[in-house]
Amino acid sequence: MPLYEYYCADCHTKFEALRPMSQADAPIQCRHCESMNTSRAISLFAAFSKSESGASQAITGAGGGCSTCAGGTCSTCGIN
């Protein structure tokens, strides 16, 4: 199941949730304040959003693009 990021407009907190792809944009309750005033945080790569939050890992240097890039070739994102 893919990991998605969501942003709560009430407590201004980002949180992550594992959801089926079909429910990626479905309403989700904030984990911190239980508000439903949340929206999906659109980020192309998990590595990018992690560096945004200050917990940067060297994922970007490892050739990480989308999840199918792991094998070295990727036809979906074109990073590699």
List residues binding Zn ion (CB under 5 A).
8, 10-11, 30, 32-33, 35
The CA distances from residue 78 to 41, 63, 66, 68, 71, in Å, are: 22, 11, 9, 10, 13
Given the complex with Zn ion, which of 22 and 53 has the nearer CB atom?
53
Given the complex with Zn ion, which of 8 and 69 has the nearer CB atom?
8
Q: How far is the CB of 8 from Zn ion (least distance, A)?
A: 3
CB-based contact 40:51 (threshold 8 Å): no
CB-based contact 80:45 (threshold 8 Å): no
Q: How far is the CB of 32 from Zn ion (least distance, A)?
A: 4
Given the complex with Zn ion, which of 28 and 46 has the nearer CB atom?
28
Which tokens belong to 14?
């980002």
Q: How far is the CB of 41 from Zn ion (least distance, A)?
A: 13
